[in-house]
């Protein structure tokens, strides 16, 4: 059985591991932990975790950490990868290798959605199989950045309409 709990500062090393696994989901474009630990994006998404407005959850199964999801607010001056607005947090999510396809990502995403009090955004690269999960959970495309689609889960029913 998978359980989720609130992520704390003590979970930062695991969140960092999940970040790298998520960023390197495609083996043909993987850059490795050494690259990501020195890249500004890494600090942008996890530096100082947890900030007062950060919210995160970790999943445990059989006594081991198997996945994490977290949300962080960004500003127009320093936007995240899937920035929509300063009022909408962006999600980072990932499941450790060997545990994908077990419903862990879905459980984490559902728990974050349930704990959220508004809209959520995330970015998904072309070809990432996780996109299907996000769409099933109500995330709709609202933009593109390079080879990624920005998805938004809005509390309003007209999200994504243009």
Domain membership of residue 148 (yes or no) is: no
Strands 148-153 and 2-6, how do they pair?
Answer: unpaired
Query: Nearest-CA neighbor of 94 among 75, 112, 118, 114?
Result: 112
Mean pLDDT, residues 108-130: 95
Domain membership of residue 127 (yes or no) is: no
Q: Can you give the pLDDT at residue 100?
A: 87
Q: Can you give the pLDDT at residue 21?
A: 92
At residue 6 the predicted structure's pLDDT band, cuts being 50, 70 and 90, is: very high
* pLDDT greater than 50 at residue 54: yes
* pLDDT greater than 60 at residue 159: no
Domain membership of residue 156 (yes or no) is: no
Domain membership of residue 136 (yes or no) is: no
Query: Looking at the 3D structure of the chain, how many domains does it have?
Result: 1
**Phi, psi of 141, deg, nearest 5:** -70, 135
Domain membership of residue 132 (yes or no) is: no
Q: Can you give the pLDDT at residue 138?
A: 96
Domain membership of residue 15 (yes or no) is: yes
* CATH code of 26's domain: 3.40.630.30
At residue 1 the predicted structure's pLDDT band, cuts being 50, 70 and 90, is: confident
Task: Give per-residue pLDDT as tens, 137-153.
Answer: 999 999 999 999 999 99
Domain membership of residue 143 (yes or no) is: no
Domain membership of residue 151 (yes or no) is: no
Q: Can you give the pLDDT at residue 162?
A: 41
Are 76 and 64 a contacting pair, CB within 8 Å? Answer: no
Question: Cα–Cα–Cα angle for 119, 101, 98, nearest 5°?
Answer: 115
Domain that holds residue 15: 2-122
């Amino acid at each position: 059985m998978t359980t989720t709990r609130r992520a704390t500062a003590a979970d930062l090393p695991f969140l960092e591991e999940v970040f790298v696994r998520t960023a390197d989901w495609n083996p043909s474009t993987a850059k490795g932990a050494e690259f990501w630990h020195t890249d500004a994006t890494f600090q942008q998404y996890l530096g100082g975790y947890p900030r007062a407005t950060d919210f995160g959850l970790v999943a445990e199964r059989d006594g081991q950490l198997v996945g994490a999801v977290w949300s962080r607010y960004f500003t127009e001056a320093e936007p995240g990868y899937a920035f929509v607005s300063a009022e909408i947090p962006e999600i980072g999510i990932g499941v450790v290798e060997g545990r994908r396809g077990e419903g862990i990502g879905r459980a984490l995403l559902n728990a974050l959605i349930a704990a959220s009090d508004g809209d959520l955004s995330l970015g998904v690269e072309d070809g990432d199989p996780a996109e299907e999960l996000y769409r099933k959970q109500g995330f709709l495309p609202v933009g593109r950045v390079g080879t990624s689609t920005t998805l938004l889960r809005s509390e309003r029913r007209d999200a994504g309409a243009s």
